[in-house]
Structure 1
């Protein structure tokens, strides 16, 4: 039974290939990444989230080997998509920051090619052992799905944390500069009042008082 669990785990690991990256998209840049699909009908999962920069939004597009647009969007903060690859070849995943003139965007993204075909556990005998093997296989796939869900939740919370931290930092910066302007204004008004008083009490101008 332990042998079968190990084999099932190995088969489960090999049925998904994924690439997770963090990339800084400069202003007016178009950044593209590629994934090779060797078989029709595979599920491709595409996830991205803008961590920092501007309004935390970016344009994106996904095109097939025949240059057909599979997915696209404008000014999106994050996306989580799954589509079926109906063509064999190189799929292109692009991020476009062309609407920004100076702000660069830090983007976390993941491209995963998922093979839906489940590996079958070797069964030497029928009966209880076969039922137990099926239960183990079902449990392994259930655990895999839950781990994927947890991973996505962690990425979502990380994105929210980064955005909230950026908001707090921006608010602190505004408060600081507003305080500096306020202090300079108070000092300026005080100096102006002193000059006015000196103007009225200096030399021949005393008669104006």
Structure 2
């Protein structure tokens, strides 16, 4: 249990140092709920979430994603894997939780990835033969 707490704290530390993506593997014991968190700095950022159950039981897990207001954005039961992209409409901390309460004895091993990224607006490229100009204040 202490190992999981330390792991979660290290994960949050990485996020606070502006690491915008992370690929992780975690074990979830029987009857356990384990959550990971990602901060969104501005509305409109994209959140990528991927997971795959690597071992344990029927290779399935329950999950949910909640926004900073504790509203469930996405959930699934007995899923083997998932790959989702969401738009963050609210600034703050998003929760990504796995729950292994359907299992009474079996630990599950899960690979997952949470990414938060800004999508900078790009200028349209100049047409062939035209010179791009920029306004200087």
TM range (shorter): 0.7 to 0.9
Paired position in structure 1 for 2:44: 41
Alignment of 1:20-169 (within 5 A): 20-118=23-121
Indicate the structure with greater strand content: 2
Larger radius of gyration, structure 1 or 2?
Answer: 1
TM-score with structure 1 setting the length: 0.50
TM-score with structure 2 setting the length: 0.75
CA distance in 2: counterparts of 1:75 and 1:57, whole angstroms: 5
Secondary structure at the aligned position of 1:107 is classed as strand
Name structure 1 gaps, 5 residues minimum.
Answer: 1-15, 121-126, 131-209
Secondary structure at the aligned position of 1:75 is classed as strand
Q: How far is 1:46 from its partner? A: 0.3
Larger RCO, structures 1/2 (Cα 8 Å, 6+ apart): 2
Find runs of 4+ consecutive structure 1 residues off by over 2 angstroms.
127-130
**Per-residue displacement from partner, 1:14-63 (whole Å, max 9, x unpaired)?**
xx921110000001100000000010000101000000000000000000
Indicate the structure with greater helix content: 1
Q: How far is 1:118 from its partner? A: 4.7
